[in-house]
Amino acid sequence: MAFDIDMIKGLYSNMAERVDKAREIVGRPLTLSEKILYSHLWDGNSTKEFKRGKDYVDFKPDRIACQDATAQMALLQFMQAGKPQVAVPTTVHCDHLIQAKSGAAADLKVANSTSAEVFDFLESVSNKYGIGFWKPGAGIIHQVVLENYAFPGGMMIGTDSHTVNAGGLGMVAIGVGGADAVDVMAGMAWELKFPKLIGVKLTGNISGWTSSKDVILKVAGILTVKGGTGAIIEYFGEGAKNLSCTGKGTICNMGAEVGATTSTFGYDESMERYLRATDRSDVADAANAVKEHLTADAEVYANPEKYFDELIEINLDELRPHLNGPFTPDLATPVGELGIKARENGWPIKVDWGLIGSCTNSSYEDLTRAASIAKQAVDKKIKPKSDFGINPGSEQIRFTAERDGLLQIFENLGATIFTNACGPCIGQWDRSDLKGEEKNTIVHSFNRNFSKRADGNPNTHAFVGSPEMVAAIAISGRLDFNPMTDTLLNENGEEVKLDEPLGIELPPLGFDVEDAGYLAPKEDGSSVIVRVDPKSERLQLLEPFTPITSESLKGVKLLIKAFGKCTTDHISMAGPWLRYRGHLDNIANNTLIGAVNAYNKKTNFVKNQLTGEYVGVPDAQRAYKAAGINTIVVGDHNYGEGSSREHAAMQPRHLGVAAVLVKSFARIHETNLKKQGMLGLTFANEGDYDLIQEDDTFNFLDISAFAPDKELTIEVVHNDSTKDTIKVNHTYNQSQIDWFNEGSALNVIKRENAS
Ligand code: MIC
Ligand code: SF4
């Protein structure tokens, strides 16, 4: 099942009634986010008002998208659910498993051979269960979704945190773990806590060096990496209308970096233009007919403070270009002020690489804006001081950009054109210019810049900017370069200035492509056989998890108390480990190896309480498992920030971690823990984090009375036999407690299917 105009028309035809009903029930005008949420209720028309940030609600998403690195685990779980076909249009995209090294053609060939087993598995599972399959090289999931599947007013989920990118076409698109996707694939409801709403009013207009990317870089600075947690960010105002559709996608994309559930924009002419340019005039026509439901009620945007839980205003006339980083995407600095900051902090000023691409910024418009800078370097005889790498977002974009001479412009500058894939954005980058862990700086147009993310080197300082700013900074080779004021010395020894970037929103000659890389599934896939070699090191069929009993929650040992930021990259690193994403036991060998041990500030070096020795986290954990002892992981704020990868929950679960106790969670990760039948808990009193000592043993005193809205009590026994009794909170509702009691959400589905 791929694209389905009848499904969209069906949704639109119900929308008026559902929106009217919801408006009547809540008794006030509705935001766009509410219109989309209320028109996707599992039970049809709403019968009550949901409390934002409180009520769990069952939804009925229109589509699902999965990428290769998460689809393996999602589909291994779906195969256990016992269904013949997916219940909702679903696609799989091969984009994460392709390493960037020498350039597109050679790199794709290598990926197709080294990951043949995984690609074949994904292709045959897709064929069997009615899933559309996008081959390696077809493009990055979110760009392909925007070009082919996203539509105004729709709701989708995807097994990748940047699924939110489709908000650029007016969707509510949400990143989830594979187990959530399996619910929907199996024809069940998808549960989400009704989000809070943050309004962002954009006034004025973007111009000159400022781009859509700078809007979200600014918002990230305001909200920080956890400021959007549990909320949908809805953008509106005159400034919003003047942004391109793909620019809106960029803004929504990086909503993941502030922890937002998703972000969205009301339907407007930029979206209509994009739909028509991507060969979907039928969708544009259908959307035009229900326009008023695809944006908020006028009163909402006239008096936003009354309808949003939080309101931010940004005047685009005053917005300056930013570069965010290093190591966290919310450290926002206006270009021009970075020199001082870098010198103060010891960040290398010299820039070694400029990378353009990723799902955030690889549209046709992005490439034209960056190319307009690259072309000036050649024309004005400025020799670029850094290396350049480009990842186009999709084959359609690459083909069109090549036809229109854009790629040639980058090549004239010595750039390497990598595959239409994630590449360096997810550590799939064989970087040949560095030996060892040298301190260095790179700039890129991606979204995340966590430590080690691009190249595995903890000393690579990565800064996030717009593609055109990345181009300018990389040409200058300096982090303190400000193209708006500074000049560069060219080969003739003349001082030259770069002119403002010029972009082309959509290709004047239209998009073109020879082979987009799509394979439709068989009508009836029942005869397709999916093979998993029992000896494979890449794929492993799943064994159901056994429930964690109350008895086994006595004498629980501390595995690690993580210090500071602990993202999903710290819990289950990507890069070289992506190859084991379909093999739970093998990938478990990276569990928490990036987390910093609070007692010695080292990574992958924790005390095995059974022997007193210091060993790697997976080794300690395997020793506890062998001894039949459950463990607990303790962490700080926003634990599990970043990716949707459920490996970050399944690996600890597989190895015998029973509970994760932190100051606060990132949304997707918290749900992933629940789905896998583990305990995700938060300190009732944050200060209790400091009570936890290295040799602690935990007794869950009242876990047998685990119930919604009821705090739990844990006795923490220290090495000297003194004890602290602490209270912990949780957000489990009754069905989530059932997942815990049965071992996992999947066990519940299997039981329900069997009966
Ligand atoms: C990412 O950007 O971190 C990823 C890789 O796309 C992840 C998904 C994954 O870990 O496979 C995400 O954002 O969810
Ligand atoms: Fe791929 Fe990077 Fe986008 Fe994740 S953020 S989907 S790794 S391009």
Amino acid letter for position 547: P
- pLDDT, averaged across the chain: 97
Q: Name which residue sits closest to atom 1 of ligand 2, judged by CA.
A: 422
pLDDT of residue 753: 81
Distance 485 CA to ligand 2 centre (A): 33
Q: pLDDT per residue over 44-92, tens digit each?
A: 988 899 999 999 999 999 999 999 999 999 999 999 988 999 999 999 9
pLDDT greater than 50 at residue 2: no
Q: How far is CA 143 from CA 102, 138, 172, 348, 467, in A?
A: 23, 10, 16, 32, 16
pLDDT of residue 3: 58
Q: pLDDT per residue over 79-108, tens digit each?
A: 998 899 999 999 999 999 999 999 999 999
Q: What are phi and psi of 425, to 5 degrees?
A: -65, -25
| Token pair recorded at residue 58 | 């069952």
| Token pair recorded at residue 585 | 């036991």
Distance 161 CA to ligand 1 centre (A): 6
Cα(548)–Cα(544) distance, integer angstroms: 12
Is any ligand 2 atom within 6 A of the Cβ of residue 256?
A: no
| Token pair recorded at residue 393 | 């977002």
Cα(622)–Cα(632) distance, integer angstroms: 13
Q: pLDDT per residue over 95-144, tens digit each?
A: 999 999 999 999 999 999 999 999 999 999 999 999 999 999 999 999 99
- Helix-helix angle 178-185:68-81, to 10 degrees: 50
> What confidence tier does 432 reach under pLDDT thresholds 50, 70, 90?
confident
pLDDT of residue 1: 41
Q: Name which residue sits closest to atom 3 of ligand 2, judged by CA.
A: 359
The answer to whether the beta carbons of residues 89 and 2 sit under 8 Å apart is yes
Cα(19)–Cα(153) distance, integer angstroms: 11
Is any ligand 1 atom within 6 A of the Cβ of residue 416?
A: no
pLDDT greater than 50 at residue 342: yes
pLDDT of residue 435: 84
Instruction: Kindly report the pTM of this predicted structure.
Output: 0.95
Is any ligand 2 atom within 6 A of the Cβ of residue 70?
A: no
What is the arithmetic mean of pLDDT over 504-518?
Answer: 98
Give, for 389, the enclosing helix (H) or strand (E): strand 387-390
Cα(336)–Cα(218) distance, integer angstroms: 15
pLDDT of residue 752: 86
Other CB atoms within a 10 A radius of the CB of residue 262 amount to 28
The answer to whether the beta carbons of residues 166 and 155 sit under 8 Å apart is no
In sequence order, what DSSP letters do the residues of 424-481 get, joined into one string? GGGT-B---S--SS--EEEEESSS---TTTTTS-TTEEEEE--HHHHHHHHHHTBTT-
Q: How far is CA 479 from CA 377, 483, 576, in A?
A: 17, 11, 29
Smallest CA-to-CA distance from 366 within 485, 448, 465, 273 is with: 465
Determine the atom of ligand 1 nearest the C-alpha atom of 159: 14
pLDDT of residue 755: 74
Distance 435 CA to ligand 2 centre (A): 26
Mutate to test the pocket of ligand 1, among 252, 426, 450 (most ligand atoms within 8 A of CB): 426
Q: Which residues contact 720 (CB under 8 A, 6 or more apart)?
A: none
Provide the 3-class DSSP secondary structure of residue 169. Answer: helix
The answer to whether the beta carbons of residues 635 and 663 sit under 8 Å apart is yes
Cα(263)–Cα(254) distance, integer angstroms: 9
Is the preceding peptide bond at 326 cis, omega within 30 degrees of 0?
yes
Give, for 193, the enclosing helix (H) or strand (E): strand 190-193
ipTM of this model?
Answer: 0.98
Print burial letters for 649-680: b (CB count within 10 Å at least 16), e (below 16).
bbbbbbbbbbbbbbbbbbbbbbbbbbbbbbbb
Enumerate the β-bridge partners of residue 464.
324, 444
> What confidence tier does 705 reach under pLDDT thresholds 50, 70, 90?
very high
Quick one: DSSP state of residue 712? E
What is the arithmetic mean of pLDDT over 183-192?
Answer: 96
Determine the atom of ligand 1 nearest the C-alpha atom of 448: 2
Is any ligand 1 atom within 6 A of the Cβ of residue 643?
A: yes
What is the arithmetic mean of pLDDT over 636-655?
Answer: 97
The residues annotated as belonging to the active site are: 95-96, 160, 448, 643, 645
Smallest CA-to-CA distance from 145 within 418, 363, 371 is with: 363
Is any ligand 1 atom within 6 A of the Cβ of residue 161?
A: yes
Among residues of the chain, what percentage have pLDDT more than 90?
A: 97
Q: Which residues contact 443 (CB under 8 A, 6 or more apart)?
A: 323, 351, 353, 354, 355, 386, 462, 463, 464, 465, 469, 470, 473, 474, 479
Nearest ligand to the C-alpha atom of residue 139: 2
Q: pLDDT per residue over 589-625, tens digit each?
A: 999 999 999 999 999 999 999 999 999 999 999 999 9
Nearest ligand to the C-alpha atom of residue 69: 1
The answer to whether the beta carbons of residues 557 and 632 sit under 8 Å apart is yes
Cα(648)–Cα(673) distance, integer angstroms: 8
In sequence order, what DSSP letters do the residues of 353-371 get, joined into one string? EEEE-TTTS-SHHHHHHHH
What is the arithmetic mean of pLDDT over 643-659?
Answer: 97
What is the arithmetic mean of pLDDT over 255-272?
Answer: 98
Q: pLDDT per residue over 202-251, tens digit each?
A: 999 999 999 999 999 999 999 999 999 999 999 999 999 999 999 999 99
Nearest ligand to the C-alpha atom of residue 640: 1
What is the arithmetic mean of pLDDT over 533-559?
Answer: 97
Cα(63)–Cα(574) distance, integer angstroms: 26
Is any ligand 2 atom within 6 A of the Cβ of residue 160?
A: yes
| Token pair recorded at residue 341 | 């900051």
Give, for 221, the enclosing helix (H) or strand (E): helix 212-223
Distance 22 CA to ligand 1 centre (A): 34
Determine the atom of ligand 1 nearest the C-alpha atom of 447: 2
Among residues of the chain, what percentage have pLDDT more than 70?
A: 100
Distance 645 CA to ligand 1 centre (A): 6
Is any ligand 1 atom within 6 A of the Cβ of residue 69?
A: yes
Distance 448 CA to ligand 1 centre (A): 10
| Token pair recorded at residue 613 | 């020795």
In sequence order, what DSSP letters do the residues of 196-219 get, joined into one string? EEEEEEEES---TT--HHHHHHHH
